Amino acid sequence: MNACDRMGPLLDAYHDGELGRLRSWTVRRHLGRCPACRQELATLGEVGAWVRDALEEPLAPDLWSELRGRLPAREARSAPAPGERLRWSLPARSAFGLPAFGAAAVAAGLALAVWVGVPDRFVPGLQTTATSVVRSLNTHGRPVVVLEGAGAGEATIIWLMDEEGVQGTEEIASVWI
Amino acid sequence: MSGSERLPSARARRRLKLPQTLAGRAVLCAGLVIGAPALAQTARTVALELTVSHASQQPGPVDPEAALLHEQLRNDFRYQSLRVIERRRLDLRTGEVGGLDLPSGKRVRVRPLHMGAGGVLLAVDIENTLHTDMRVPDRQPVVIGVDRYDDGKLILTLEPTLPAE
């Protein structure tokens, strides 16, 4: 599994702002070096824009009438006012031509894959895997950031922070030496 | 003292000699089979290139010798200049300890613990600062940001080159 394979699931979460600070940093670090993953991230952004645009398209004025005509009479009787129903029906539209339930299932599956399948490669407390470079680490209590090299030629970085604590890791390239 | 009393006959010597030779050869072969890898292992050395660099907040150039390090750091760390202070190559056998002194006065000690297909298992100790064991693949650098020094940070880079199989 190469670096891009490992980053794949993280990119979705990164795009959605679901990663913690350190994992975000790991992704940004990889993006800084990998045009393919930058392109992948840009594609994710475009897809998101398409979905937003699709959701903002005005509905045909007679859409609700047409739908209500297809519903059984009892459901039609208990249906809320058209304006109210409209608010709730918009998010249920299919994002990619899939049935809404299918899209929800796919989204749930992706979320599960991100949660379950992403190895914890960023190791503030050092969680090693079989392929980790760093196997044990004692910093005498100093905070440390470990960035495992993801491929040939990419360095593994062990960065001991100053005693005062972790300097801002929120933004890319924000750790002052 | 008669020779016939002390020495076996020629026939007896031949009878004795043959089994001894076979046994000797067997022992020799066994020794070679068992001992050769161990001998080879102890004879193998890993070439470790240790580089001490200084990243600084003071505006300045990036030392051409530090160009590769700059590539590894520039996306993650902010600094204004980067220079190589010292570069040293250590050829170490398994279990052998080598090292250097950082400009801050701290002693760095490295010790290869094992060499294998996955790289070299290295123990690295920076006095009162860091102790780590790492499995470092061939020619893959490890960058350690160590201590504040002057207006910047001391950076130690280790890169092993394993001997050809």
pLDDT, one tens digit per residue, over B106-121 is: 999 999 999 998 899 9
Q: Would you state the pLDDT for residue B139?
A: 93
Helix (H) / strand (E) containing B35: helix B10-43
Question: What is the rounded CA–CA span in Å between residue A167 and residue A1?
Answer: 32
Question: CB of A138 within 8 A of CB of A156?
Answer: no
Q: Would you state the pLDDT for residue A56?
A: 74
pLDDT at A101 over 50: no
Average pLDDT estimate for B7-18: 57
Tell which of B53, B58, B75, B121 to mutate to test the A interface (max A CBs under 10 Å): B75
Q: Is B131 on the interface with A (CB under 8 A)?
A: yes
Q: Which domain holds residue A61?
A: 3-118
Q: Does A149 reside within a domain?
A: no
Every domain of chain B and the residues it spans: 8-42, 45-161
Residues of B in contact with A32 (CB under 8 A): 75-76
Most confident of A14-28, A56-70, A98-112: A14-28
Cβ contacts of B75 within 8 Å, gap of 6 or more: A28, A29, A32, A33, A172, A173
Q: Is B75 on the interface with A (CB under 8 A)?
A: yes
Helix (H) / strand (E) containing A31: helix A21-31
Residues of A in contact with B69 (CB under 8 A): 155
Question: CB of B50 within 8 A of CB of B156?
Answer: yes
- Per-residue pLDDT band for A115 (boundaries 50, 70, 90) equals very low
Question: What is the rounded CA–CA span in Å between residue B148 and residue A159?
Answer: 11
Cβ contacts of B127 within 8 Å, gap of 6 or more: B106, B107, B108
- CA of residue B58 relative to chain centroid, distance: 35
Structure tokens given for A54: 């699709």
Cβ contacts of B165 within 8 Å, gap of 6 or more: none
Residue bearing the bigger pLDDT, A2 or A74: A2
Q: Is the ipTM of this complex over 0.85?
A: no
Across chain B, what does the average pLDDT equal?
84
Structure tokens given for B113: 């613990």
Q: Would you state the pLDDT for residue A9?
A: 78
Q: Does A175 reside within a domain?
A: no
Q: Does A143 reside within a domain?
A: no
Residue bearing the bigger pLDDT, B19 or B133: B133
Question: What is the rounded CA–CA span in Å between residue A75 and residue A77?
Answer: 5
Contact A140 B74 (CB under 8 A): no
Q: Is B157 on the interface with A (CB under 8 A)?
A: yes
Q: Identify any residues that bridge with A146 across adjacent strands, giving them in sequence order.
A: A158
At CA A81, angle to CA A80 and CA A83, rounded to 5?
A: 120
Residue in chain B lying closest to A148 (CA): B142
Question: CB of B139 within 8 A of CB of A149?
Answer: no
**From the list B75, B130, B142, which residue is nearest A160 (CB)?**
B130
Q: Identify any residues that bridge with B76 across adjacent strands, giving them in sequence order.
A: none
Q: Would you state the pLDDT for residue A103?
A: 47
- Per-residue pLDDT band for B11 (boundaries 50, 70, 90) equals low
Contact B72 A157 (CB under 8 A): yes
Q: In chain A, how many domains are there?
A: 1
Tell which of A25, A142, A170, A177 to mutate to test the B interface (max B CBs under 10 Å): A177
Q: Does A150 reside within a domain?
A: no
Q: Does A9 reside within a domain?
A: yes
Residue in chain A lying closest to B54 (CA): A177
Contact B75 A162 (CB under 8 A): no
Q: pLDDT exceeding 90 applies to what percent of chain B?
A: 63
Q: Does A157 reside within a domain?
A: no
> Which range (A22-36, A38-52, A107-121, B131-145) has the least confidence?
A107-121
Question: What is the rounded CA–CA span in Å between residue B75 and residue B123?
Answer: 28
- Per-residue pLDDT band for A25 (boundaries 50, 70, 90) equals confident
Burial code (b: 16+ CB inside 10 Å, e: under 16) for B103-126 equals eeebebebbbeebeeebbbbbbbb
Q: Specify the pairing of strand B81-93 against strand B142-149.
A: unpaired
- Per-residue pLDDT band for B36 (boundaries 50, 70, 90) equals low
pTM: 0.57
Q: Does A137 reside within a domain?
A: no
What is the distance in angstroms between the Cα of A139 and the nearest Cα belonging to chain B? 4
Q: Collapse the DSSP code of A139 into the 3-class scheme (helix H, G, I; strand E, B; otherwise coil) and give the result.
A: coil
- Give Rg (Cα) of chain B: 27
Question: CB of A36 within 8 A of CB of A3?
Answer: no
- Sheet of strand A134-138: strand arrangement: A134-138, B130-136, B119-126, B107-116, B98-101
What is the distance in angstroms between the Cα of B59 and the nearest Cα belonging to chain A? 13
Structure tokens given for A48: 């998101």
Contact A137 B130 (CB under 8 A): yes
What is the distance in angstroms between the Cα of A115 and the nearest Cα belonging to chain B? 25
Q: Collapse the DSSP code of B13 into the 3-class scheme (helix H, G, I; strand E, B; otherwise coil) and give the result.
A: helix
